[in-house]
Amino acid sequence: MIRRLGLLALIVLCAVSGYYLLTQHGWQRVQQVTPDAEKPLFTGEDIETVQYNADGIRSYTVQATHLEHYVKIDETHFNEPVLWTYKNGKDEEWRVSANYAVLSDEHLLTMTGNVRIFNLLPNAQIDSVATESVTLDLTTRDFWSNSPTTITGTRFQTKGKRVKGNFGNHQMELLDDVKGRYETTPR
Domain ranges of the chain: 42-182
Q: Are 77 and 101 in contact (CB under 8 A)?
A: yes
* Host H or E run for residue 13: helix 2-21
SS3 of residue 94 by DSSP: strand
Comparison of pLDDT for 24 and 14, the residue scoring more: 14
Digit-coded pLDDT (tens) for 119-164 = 888 888 888 999 999 999 988 899 999 999 998 888 888 888 889 9
Comparison of pLDDT for 55 and 97, the residue scoring more: 97
Handedness of CA 26, 30, 31, 33 (dihedral sign): positive
Band of residue 6 on the pLDDT scale cut at 50, 70, 90: confident
- The confidence score (pLDDT) of residue 25 equals 64
Comparison of pLDDT for 145 and 177, the residue scoring more: 145
Q: Which CATH class is domain 42-182?
A: mainly beta
